[in-house]
Amino acid sequence: MSKKRKYDESYVKYGFCCMKESDDVEKPQCFLCGKVLANASMKPAKLIEHLKSLHPENASKDLEFFTKKKTQFSKSGTLTKLGFGIPQKTLVEASFRVAYRIAKSKKPHTIGETLIKPCALEMVELVCGLEQRKKLEAIPLSNDVIQSRIVEISCNILKQIINELKASPFPFSMQLDETTDISNCSQLLVFVRYVSADTIKEEFLFCEPLLQTTMAVDVLAILNVFFSKHDFDWKQKLHSLCTDGAPAMLGNKSGFAHLVKKEAPNVIVTHCFLHRHALATKTLPTSLIDVLSIVIKTVNFIRSRALNHRLFKTLCQEMNAEHEVLLYHTEVRWLSRGQGPDTTIMDATEKLQAFLSKMSVWKIRIQNGIYANFQMLDEFIFENGSRQDSLLLNNLKDEICEHLEVLQVSFEKYFNLDEITKKDELWIRNPFLCDIDCIDDMDLAKDELIDLKTKSLLKMDFDSKTLGEFWSSLREAYPLLVKRAMAAIIPFATDCILGILIQPLDNYVVVSES
């Protein structure tokens, strides 16, 4: 661990005062330009180098000059922390907004000081004049400042999410997955879905490294440490848990879900829809899977080395091919297309029911020689129909029909639709069109549904709001219906996390902790 250097009052003669970060680390700040240097630069040689390279006209000034400049800097409100004054709100806010955009665009932190600020200064000087340029020079955008701003934004947003989870009137849902980053390190990603301010929010919670083993006990330990740190009893408020089918997650004896259910028996555990979809689709006949395997190996061979990729691109150009670049084959990621943040288990179930119904129709069409549902095959047969071997075509037709039959059975095995969405809960999708008898007469929720169906103003709200927003707004008027509706809306349908989400500043009031 590097040594933390301390500020000395004699550094004033080099044009530097001291600022202190939230972690009590002291950093030198030039009161001539407002730039904040790293703690490692807290030594005379580094400070003199800054003075001579950026402020050569002041390098020969006496101590009285620098003392006067420091006083002016302090009175201006630009000097940050350590009791010298309160930073100007606009300068700090500008620094935070630039840091947010840098983080959102995934750019190096140094870009604020090396590109953004110089460009902004030149534009302001050309358009607004030299005086306006001087105002922008005081905005701190150094590498260390941007890093600290991003950390502060992240911590503040996390604090707000934890507070919203604690204040939520309903239990929350959680999805988690262990993944490996580009440096081959295992990371645990966790998202939550909960009700807040009459709407359902889906937020990224945290990402923590699994330093050694990636067993269920390790995952549980990380969760316990995280929530304990934020003083939140997550097991008491957790409604459902969504994860993949890996043994470490869904193992019958020592899986993470099994460990959670030991301490919270009422938690509903769901197997990710997309992972089940991937398992169910691995039913291709041998002759067809062999062709697909060759294609996969070819694509991966071309993309495995840059030279292979360049040679393939040259070949495509010589052949006047429409496309020149190949994508890696993936088994699950492509299934995530169209999965928005508001997707519920009911949405996924409806799509699945439609897909199962279509397969029976596709089989009939294939048996009658209609291949319209398989576009590339249909085009190939149309272009080469007269030259096709009828016996070969009949064999292909039989294999496709067989595959559709096996696929349908496989889907019904992995997805028990009656368990996922009960038929007597269909009123959740649209309480104004459902049959009132969908709820039993002995169920007190039926009284609330009858009352709800008669409200024309609520019908207008239903047409203008999302399903989650509609039911969230009714939790006081119809508590029985809303509680049951939330049990179906809040759970995640998939745990396929495609990237870490950076929340827009409009969603949260980012407050500096300093």
Q: Which of 514, 512, 500 is nearest to 153 (CA)?
A: 512
Q: pLDDT-based confidence at 36, cuts 50/70/90?
A: confident
DSSP characters over 101-123: HHHHTT--TTHIIIIIHHHHHHH
Alpha-carbon distance of 56 to 68, in angstroms, equals 18
pLDDT of residue 502: 34
pLDDT band at 199 (very low <50, low <70, confident <90, very high): confident
Q: What is the 3-state secondary structure (H, E, C) of 201-264?
A: EEEEEEEEECCCCCCHHHHHHHHHHHHHHCCCCHHHHEEEEEECCCHHHHCCCCCHHHHHHHHC
Comparing 502 with 315, which gets the higher pLDDT? Answer: 315
Contact status, residue 86 vs residue 76, Cβ threshold 8 Å: no
- 513: confidence class by pLDDT, cuts 50, 70, 90: very low
Band the pLDDT of 228: cuts 50, 70, 90.
Answer: very high
Q: How many residues does the chain have?
A: 514
CA neighbor of 149 nearest in space, from 200, 201, 204, 94: 94
332 and 278 Cβ atoms separated by less than 8 Å: yes
Q: How far apart are CA 93 and CA 139, in angstroms?
A: 9
Angle separating helix axes 345-367 and 390-414, nearest 10 degrees: 160
Minimum mean pLDDT among 231-240, 289-298, 320-329, 437-446: which range?
320-329
pLDDT higher for 425 or 151?
A: 151
Beta carbons within 10 angstroms of residue 367's beta carbon? 12
**Phi then psi dihedrals of residue 177, to 5 deg:** -155, 145
Higher per-residue pLDDT: 213 or 105:
105
Residue 73 has pLDDT above 70, yes or no: yes
Once rounded to an integer, what is the mean pLDDT over residues 340-348? 72
- Residue 284, pLDDT > 90, answer no
Whether the per-residue pLDDT at 11 is higher than 80: the answer is yes
Mean pLDDT, the chain, integer = 80
- Calculate the CA dihedral of residues 26, 30, 33, 34 and round it to 10 degrees: 20
pLDDT range class, residue 244, cuts 50, 70, 90: confident
- Between 339 and 172, where is the model more confident? 172
Residue of higher predicted confidence among 56 and 74: 56
Task: Note the pLDDT of residue 498.
Answer: 39
Under DSSP, the state recorded for 500 is: P
Q: How confident is the model at residue 297 (pLDDT cuts 50, 70, 90)?
A: confident
Confidence of residue 424 (pLDDT cuts 50, 70, 90): low
In whole angstroms, give the CA distance from residue 413 to residue 391: 33
Q: Is residue 439 very low, low, confident or very high in pLDDT (cuts 50, 70, 90)?
A: confident
pLDDT above 70 (res 454): yes
Residue 386: Cβ within 10 Å count:
5
Residue pointed to by tokens 């691995």: 282
Which residue in 214, 226, 337, 355 sits closest to 280, CA to CA? 355
Mean pLDDT of 429-441: 86
Whether the pLDDT of residue 364 is over 70: the answer is yes
Higher pLDDT, 402 or 286: 402
DSSP 36: B
Task: Give the residue with greater pLDDT, 335 vs 31.
Answer: 31
If pLDDT is split at 50, 70 and 90, which confidence band does 83 have? very low
Q: What confidence tier does 279 reach under pLDDT thresholds 50, 70, 90? A: low
Average pLDDT on 303-314 reads 87
Write the CA distances from 268 to 107, 278, 329, 435, integer angstroms: 40, 22, 33, 28
d(CA 286, CA 85): 75
Taking the C-alpha atoms of residue 313 and residue 332, their distance in angstroms, rounded to an integer, is 26
pLDDT confidence band for 328 (50 / 70 / 90): low
Task: Give yes or no for residue 4 having a pLDDT over 50.
Answer: yes
Of 73-87, 95-109, 387-401, the one with minimum mean pLDDT is 73-87
Report phi then psi at 207, rounded to 5. Answer: -135, 120
